[in-house]
Amino acid sequence: MSWYDTILTPLYDVVSWIIRAFYTVFSPILGPDSGWTWVLSIVGLVVFIRILLIPLFVRQIRASRNMALLQPKVRELQKKYGHDRERMGQELMKLYKESGTNPFSSCLPILLQSPIFIALFRVLDGAANGLVRGSGLNQTLVDSLRHASIFGAHISDKFIGSTSLSVRIVTIVLILLMTATTFTTQRQLMRKNMPPEALTGQYAQQQKLLLYVLPLVFAVGGVNFPVGVLIYWFTTNLWTMGQQFWVIRRNPAPGTPAYDAYQARKTKKAGHRPGLAGILPGGAKETAKETPNGSAPAADGEQAETAQTVKRVQPQRLPRSKRKGR
């Protein structure tokens, strides 16, 4: 056993037990050796892990958004203190502290998920070679996973080293899906939830570079991934894209296209609510209402004076004892 296997052994155990738990659920329904049983077990692993990472994901989205919104102020600091690196660093830390932004928060979910991905890769790679990694699996389950197939491709097959047309088609389709979802997720964040002024400068250039480099890295590296790992990565990208769409739609950054669309939806929804028809386009409420004879109502002061004039005091009947004394 190599040194990194020794370090990752606890993660092997966690990943293997989660997969086995979902395998136990799906195997009686779809069959113990069905490829779809193992596919759904991997999908279940993704869903389980991503639910645990939801709080970190929300922090990542907010941190990325805050970093983008702070770029105009960062550029001002660069112009003012560009000649003094020490003062520049102090002012940047002060700016991050005042705004409650942590530059490392946007990377935290990725860093936490990377060991899980590596552990899953090693577990499935071991299964492809008939090796058991993780206490949740045994040789029987590894052999079942190794020989299970979808669309003619085994869960443990890779594009590299395979001569099967089915394997190449399945892996290429999964690689394209994985690349497309990675690109769409990054583009969705940049185009919908960043103000125009945040799309210029060094930070924006770095984001644009990642927009095209990351999908390319996944596309090139995907040929070495087993089908099971490609399914895992595509599923987690799909989850990220949907989760990010929901966060941007419900909590967009001010001054962004997503925020304009959010305000337009609120205005449209308010216009259809009963009781709000009297709200004027400028935001003021209608206070003038016609009287039954069609004339305009009196001003508030006149209405109060009229009410006092019209109000009558009803005479009260005295008791007999008092009436006799009168």
Flag whether the pTM goes above 0.75. Answer: no
Q: Does residue 234 contact residue 228 with C-beta atoms inside 8 Å?
A: no
Separation CA 193–CA 189 (nearest Å):
5
Per-residue tokens: 46: 């993704």
Query: What residue spans of 148-256 are helical by DSSP H?
Result: 165-192, 202-221, 227-250
Q: Does residue 99 contact residue 67 with C-beta atoms inside 8 Å?
A: no
Least confident of 34-43, 63-72, 128-137, 295-304: 295-304
How far, in whole angstroms, is CA 264 from its chain's centroid?
21
> What average pLDDT does the segment 83-92 reach?
82
User: Number of C-alpha atoms within 13 angstroms, CB side, residue 111?
Assistant: 7
State yes or no: pLDDT of 257 exceeds 50. Answer: yes
Q: Which long-range contacts (CB under 8 A, 24 or more apart) does 146-155 make?
A: 147/33, 148/33, 148/34, 148/35, 148/37, 148/38, 149/35, 150/35, 150/36, 150/39, 150/227, 153/227, 154/35, 154/227, 155/35, 155/38, 155/39, 155/124, 155/127, 155/226, 155/227, 155/228, 155/231
Q: What H or E segment, with its residue span, contains residue 161?
A: none
Q: Does residue 174 contact residue 234 with C-beta atoms inside 8 Å?
A: yes
Q: Which of 28-37, 193-202, 259-268 has the highest mean pLDDT?
A: 28-37
